[in-house]
Amino acid sequence: MISKIDSYPGRRMHKNELKPLTTFSQRLKEVGQASSNIANDSTSISYKVQSLSDQSKETKKDFDDIFGKIQDTVKMVTNQNSIWLLEFIFARRIDHINWVRAVDKAIETNDVVIMPQLNHRLCKMGLWYYQSSVLDKDQEYIHNKLEEPHRVLHESAIEIRDGILAGDNVKIKTARAKLQDVFVMLAKVFDEHLTYLENKSIQENSKLLN
């Protein structure tokens, strides 16, 4: 049987030829509709962002200037003031001891609300680490070793949180064991960094005295 719908002038299509084309046409229509929705949403978002930007250009500029100065200061202090960095790294080590205790408290009380900061980029160490730039090659080597265990430490806490929410004690226990192992690794890097900075600080002081 011949379909009444023409594919193009001078050619009629059978139904078995028409079906794939119809399905494809429907999919194209769905994609087109989805694309239209995305475009409309994007336009709306862009407009709102631009509107906000227009209303607060001075505020944004001030913020960018302040943030830029903070980044410059972090880089300068990281490279030039080993005493400050020594104290800072030691404080971050204490932070993470307390951080682990907070995770354990959340496990003990079965309460994820009291979990500490889970984003490794947003804790005090993370905020410093991802803005810092180290020029001393020996120090940079130790500095770079901090990232992996620190990131995995926070990921382990996320797994613990998920285990608490799911009521999965096996997952909690496994993730807590992983957290302990990686904390030991991180502590060793902290120790290595602190020892290096102690020696560097003494050497710098000796140069000043001579």
Place of tokens 């992983």: 178
Q: Residue 179, exposed/middle/buried by CB under 10 A (0-12, 13-18, 19+)?
A: buried
Mean pLDDT of all residues in 25-54: 47
75-98 pLDDT, tens digit per residue, is: 555 555 677 788 888 988 999 999
Cα 160 to chain centroid, rounded: 18
Pairing between β-strand 11-14 and β-strand 2-8 as defined by DSSP bridges: antiparallel
SS3 7: strand
pLDDT at 4 over 50: no
Quote the pTM value: 0.63
Mean pLDDT of all residues in 117-145: 87
E-only strand ranges, the chain: 2-8, 11-14
